Amino acid sequence: MSTSERSQQFEASIRDEAIHCDRLLGSWTGTNPGPTLIVICGVHGNERAGVHAAEEILNQLSSIAPDQGKGRVVVIAGNLAALAVPEGGVRYLDRDLNRIFSEAGIAQIRAASPADLDTEQREALELMQTLEAEIARASGLVYALDLHTVSAESPPFVFVEDSLPAREFVHPFGVPVILGFEEELHGLLIDHLTNGYGVTAAILEAGHHDDEGSQHFMAAAIQRAITYAGILSDDLLAESIASDEEQTQGYGQGRAGHIYDVRHRDPITSPDYAVEADLQPFDHLRRDHTVVAREKGRVSVAPMTGLLFMPNRQEEKRPGDDGYFIVQRVNRTWLMISAGLRRFTLLHWLLPKLAPGVRHDPTHAGRLLVDVRYAPVFKRELFHLFGYRIHSRGPDLHWPWWRRIWTGAIGIAAAILGILLGIFKGGEKGVLREPSEHDWVISRRTLDTADRPNARQ
């Protein structure tokens, strides 16, 4: 839907208001124990459609008796301070709330005295306390939906960390699924929920901030999540938007169920940053050819072939924010092979024993270090295939294939020589390199491992 087609009335209503709300917007609790669905809205204060969609669902749930389902649905608001700013709120006041939840960011908030925290750090602390209380009272699996909208005209899509439970959870939404976002952006709330508590979590990007369709899609997706989790049956939500198949077909815009991997992020470095006006989300970009954005002293040409994703159309461009991303389609066969390999426990046991340059991280249980010399051979796609998340890696090289192979071959030759020298010296101790800041750090996906705190029974 274009800007001109949007309901003027809806746009006016969503723009004018300041939203003053409690952290806990509402809940529905079944008589019997069961799964919990946590819906989070307004993590960015100018993204109001999520708040309205969640309220719409709470309203529907209020007429359903507790003995008609099991478990719990709870709606939690994210950035109360940013939502309360008049004339449509602001994305954030001091810093982006959805970039705070890294291990270091959380540790900093917990160690500081409340008077030293900035606006979003205080929001994050309170939000974490509320979420922890919900997770602690949960009697079954916990799912979370973090509701967002975007600044550009865009079809809806979802982000998940690529685990098998998360892939399954978002399938019913019928929209494109984007993987690998957590490797580009640190401190996402869903990342903390998944890796801190074993919650199956997804970010829903429902479309443009002011598009009435965004709210509609989010309401439908919440209903589908409730049904998928097994909290309420489909017929109880019979009036639901989710049952409208035609509408659902429309959400995916021909890309329903397609899976994409984030391959590149272009950061904003100057306030005059502008993505080319004629480019739309999912437009095809050609490597070294398509001019994607311009800013003072720099023209950003696509460093790889792929599709344009989340071009920043915010009025105010803040250095450090995301300019645009490039995604590439992941094919179905790859996903099926990947699902099989993830369940192949022997592989995960063998990897640090047999693969050259791969060893356990002495400082962090469950993580592996990959010698940087072999990284060009392994590439991120290969680790993703095996179900590994890359926590840190060297800069994106965007090398041609022959250069990767060449560099990798030299690395492997050096390793074999090292091993021979090691044997000659009477032991392998001196062969494996000490951990270095250049190593890639990888680990299996929390939700794919059987011992996740919240594992499927």
Residues that bind Zn ion (CB under 5 A): 44, 47, 148
By Cβ distance, which residue is nearest to Zn ion? 148
Compute the distance between CA of residue 8 and CA of residue 210 in angstroms, rounded to an integer.
10
Residue 108 CB, nearest approach to Zn ion (Å): 22
Using only C-alpha atoms, the chain has a radius of gyration, in whole angstroms, of 23
175: tokens are: 């929209």
Q: Specify the residue for token string 């965007």.
A: 398
Amino acid at 159: F
Question: Which CB, 41 or 307, lies closer to Zn ion?
Answer: 41
Nearest distance from residue 426's CB to Zn ion, in Å?
Answer: 58
Distance CA 247, CA 146 (A): 22
Interatomic CA distance for residues 60 and 53, integer angstroms: 11
Output the smallest distance, CB 47 to Zn ion, in A.
5
Question: Between 44 and 48, whose beta carbon lies closer to Zn ion?
Answer: 44
Minimum distance of Zn ion from residue 157's CB (angstroms): 13
- Min dist CB 407 to Zn ion, Å, is 38
User: Do the beta carbons of residue 82 and residue 167 sit within 8 Å?
Assistant: no
Cβ pair 257, 171 in contact under 8 A: yes
Q: Give the separation between CA 274 and CA 281, rounded to whole angstroms.
A: 14
CB 178 within 8 A of CB 233: no
**Of 194 and 214, which has the nearer Cβ to Zn ion?**
214
**Residue 44 or 255: which CB sits closer to Zn ion?**
44
C-alpha angle 441-198-379 in degrees, rounded to nearest 5: 25
The answer to whether 393 and 380 have CB atoms below 8 angstroms apart is yes
| Structure tokens given for 128 | 């974490």
Distances (CA, A) of 199 to 54, 56, 108: 19, 24, 23
Q: What's the closest the beta carbon of residue 46 comes to Zn ion, in angstroms? A: 8
Residue 177: CB minimum distance to Zn ion, A: 17
Between 265 and 438, CB nearer to Zn ion: 265
Cβ-based nearer residue to Zn ion, 148 or 452 = 148
CB of 358 to Zn ion, least distance (A): 36
CB nearer to Zn ion: give 47 or 371. 47
Q: Which is nearer to Zn ion, 83 or 375 (CB)?
A: 83
End-to-end alpha carbon distance in the chain = 43
